Chain A
Amino acid sequence: MPSWIDACATDDIEEEDVIRFDHDGAVFAIYRSPDDRFYCTDGLCTHEKVSLADGLVMDEIIECPKHNARFDYRTGEAKAAPVCVNLRTYATKIENGRVLIELMGAQ
């Protein structure tokens, strides 16, 4: 069963930025795009488990702070060496100024 988890307030994330969200032992990254949409991916880089929330968001790309791996945070697609493993993505929705993420089979 999918379940929606309350992750943060929309105001917690600046435009074109990312924050980290920890839930039930898992790490997620939640993004606010330049066109004011919200996205969610796994929070650790697929290359070396570095927190992506420390990385820089440029347009639709999140860059791993350590090794410059780049992902399209809307789709999770890996865009540049050294990674070739995509990030998992999670659906988001906004309710009453809160960002909710959908975790399949969580809990």
Chain B
Amino acid sequence: MTQHRGMVIVGAGECGARAAFALRENGYSGPIDVLGEEEHRPYERPPLSKGRPGGAVPLKEIATQAQWDSAEISLSLGTKVTEVDRADRVVRLADGRIMHYDKLLFATGARARRLPLATTAPVATLRTMSDAQHISSIAVPGSHVAIIGAGLIGLELAARLRAGDVDVTIIEVSSAALGRAVPPELAARLVQRHRNEGVRFEFDAEITAITDRTIALLDGSQFTADLIVAAIGAEPETGLAEQAGLEVRNGITVNVTLATSDQNIFAAGDCCNFPSPRTGAPVRLESWRNALDQGEHAAANMLGASREYQKTPWFWSEQYDLTLQVAGLPQPGRPFVRREPGSGATLLFQFDDDGRLVSASGLGPSGSVAKEIRIAEMLIERGARPDPRLLADAQSNLKKLLRTG
């Protein structure tokens, strides 16, 4: 039987789903196949950091079956790809099926990193729906959860668990939370807020062993918990790309159009390593927005648009009533320009040597920093050189900078 070649998307997370719909929005009328390993229809993740504590884990589907059907996108769930054969442009599946592609998109995402520790003790992670269900089933009110890693996922999980009256200890190997992704001052403020909510932190804590449900640290202290969750980051899913002979270096290497070294294969979202706009420095991002934007962008380029990806990195994190938003990539060691727009909100801006705005980070109650971070994001994207004194002046209307920039 001969088959029409179509668009094949490997990975059914936010990125793959967005790419599939974007192909249709761009007028593509041929076959689209989305292949996902999980049994669930594509959903927003990680589910637990958004859901209500204590109850069932809410699954927020990206699109209903009716929407997939009406867009005529074929969704294959519980489907494992065994090989991408670039010479014949086919994808082989574990169930024996073969799909012929015109263009292929790797939207394989990332998987939770495992502890680099030989242990047979049960250590949970938080990435998938089943991870979230597992955590939710054990982390009942009054239980104790030890979270390894004070990154975004660890902190968001802690906030959710505290709201459900779960006792939380966070064990972090470095001396501060949130690593390089967030200005130290804002990270420290978040840690203080967690402490006020009853979260205990162990910084500079090197784990020597985990036995059953007990964590032993190098300094001799021990923590026993009902559940241990490793929240130490994620690793890109690159196995198939490597097997297919594509370049992989902390993610599948792509150029500014999100194409791999094979012009028929693209990669987008958490799994790809792409050149930063302006600097060209290779970067891999794990954020909701990046997954969507790159999925949409790759779709257009799979149809021949050849557009350069130039979006500014951006993420949002909610912890208790605080919202953290960061646009651009904060540079460790560079000075910040501070803006205090009131109601406890703080914005921190950074410039490069040419006076261009390169990052903006904001922390404040609920959506209090959203407008100004959004404006900053647009300024960063334009390569604008706003006057630092205007940014620092809480009375100045930042929106005017968009008109003049």
Contacts and interface: CB of A to CB of B under 8 A. Distances in A.
B38 to A, nearest CB: 20
Interface stretch (A4-12, A51-59, A88-96, A97-105): A51-59
Contact of B371 (A65, A67, A81): A65
B374 A65 contact: yes
A50 B399 contact: no
A68 interface: yes
Contacts of B367: 50-51, 53-55, 65-66
B278 to A, nearest CB: 21
Contact of A56 (B18, B289, B316, B371): B371
A68 B289 contact: yes
Contacts of A42: none
Contact of B21 (A50, A53, A63, A81): A81
A102 to B, nearest CB: 27
Nearest to B60: A48
Contact of A54 (B289, B296, B370, B375): B370
B292 interface: yes
Interface size class of A (residues with CB under 8 A): 10 to 19
A96 to B, nearest CB: 27
Contact of B375 (A51, A56, A68, A81): A56
Among B288, B374, B397, find the residue whose CB has the most chain A CB atoms closer than 10 A. Answer: B374
Interface in B12-71: 18, 21-22, 62
Contacts of A16: 399
A30 to B, nearest CB: 16
A66 B292 contact: no
A16 B398 CA distance: 13
B366 A51 contact: yes
B316 to A, nearest CB: 6
B368 interface: yes
A51 B367 CA distance: 8
Interface of A: 14, 16, 50-51, 53-56, 63, 65-68, 81-82
Interface of B: 18, 21-22, 62, 288-289, 292, 296, 316, 366-368, 370-371, 374-375, 397, 399
